[in-house]
Amino acid sequence: MKDLIKKYCNLLGPSGMEDSVREAIIEDIKDSGAEYQTDAIGNLIVFKKGKKRRNKKVLLSAHMDEVGFMVKYIDEEGYAWFDSVGGVDRRVVSGRRLVFCESNIPAVVASKAIHMQTLEERGKCEPISEMHIDIGATSREEAKKYINIGDCAVFEPNYEEFGDGLVRSKALDDRFGCAALVKMINGELEYDTYFAFNTCEEVGCDGAKEVAHNLRPDVVIALEATTAGDILGVSKSKCACSVGEGAVLSIMDRSTIYDQTLLELAVETAKEKNIKWQYKNVVAGGNEAGVYQRAASGARVLAISAPARYIHSASNVLAMSDMEAVYQLAAAINERSFE
């Protein structure tokens, strides 16, 4: 799975521009025997026959998009003013290296240097609306040869393994989830299963809304990354989850109260298969599970997540063992009939 994660993380795919990710996934599953189609807004829906049929329609879901930035104005000096695509903390933006998706043009996020700041400005993080992107142009005319209003950029691809089994990269949220689903599709399944690789999760889970209405699954397992708090200055009671401690099971977040029966099944399965797991111990965030739970005729939902430090930044940090645990637990649960 490591090679798939690296390949998908290094692709450029902010919300609404997931084409390269979808094409790579199709290339990787085309010989699996699965049926697949793309809907009107770019979601990739896959159906893979298993050894048996289920009475319930079970869907495993992950999103293809990543956070990014969109140009909203190009000034006379050739700088691009921009806004974020998805939830990006402004503290992790200034000085970062970017790549434009349409042109593959490299860029850097610029803001006023400390030497030029007033005493009142020092120590304060300026809003994204006052930052700009520098592509090396010296005029608006020159800049517009390479970029235009509406063009999108993402953090520069930077996949790297470091420390004791850790990985750092942009877009691990949720390209690792995509890799886990691809690995499942390319293996043998006990039961017929649907898979969704969704668009636009970072801007409101729009892709999942479409899938929910068209597919109307009975049971959904969302594979995600979730914020880890095992960093300096965060108390254990507010840690949420820890890198290296296994797959994360959420009880409740800002969009969902998870199905208690599915949650119990996940815990039972993890213990039975000796898969490392942990509870998410704060009520925060949300993901596509909330959409599946409420949309169309509704669905029973479960989220299995990998703990991620510095999520939605240029360097998400996850443990390979946690990502493997998410895959193993999802695959083991999918062996159940859900009668």
Distance separating alpha carbons of residues 250 and 112, to the nearest angstrom: 41
Strand-strand pairing, 44-48 and 166-169: unpaired
Burial of 164 (0-12, 13-18, 19+ CB in 10 A): exposed
Distance separating alpha carbons of residues 28 and 7, to the nearest angstrom: 11
- Look up residue 194 and give its two tokens: 């649907």
Residue recorded with tokens 């402004």? 90
- Look up residue 261 and give its two tokens: 């029966």
- Look up residue 18 and give its two tokens: 């997931």
Q: SS3 for 317?
A: strand
- Residue 26 has φ and ψ, to the nearest 5°, of -60, -45
Distance separating alpha carbons of residues 106 and 155, to the nearest angstrom: 10
Distance separating alpha carbons of residues 81 and 310, to the nearest angstrom: 24
Residues acting as catalytic residues = 201
* Contact indicator for 132, 113 with CB cutoff of 8 Å: no
DSSP run (H or E) holding 229: none
Q: What is the DSSP letter of 313?
A: S
Q: How many residues does the chain have?
A: 339
Distance separating alpha carbons of residues 132 and 110, to the nearest angstrom: 5
Distance separating alpha carbons of residues 24 and 44, to the nearest angstrom: 11
Burial of 281 (0-12, 13-18, 19+ CB in 10 A): middle
Distance separating alpha carbons of residues 238 and 141, to the nearest angstrom: 50
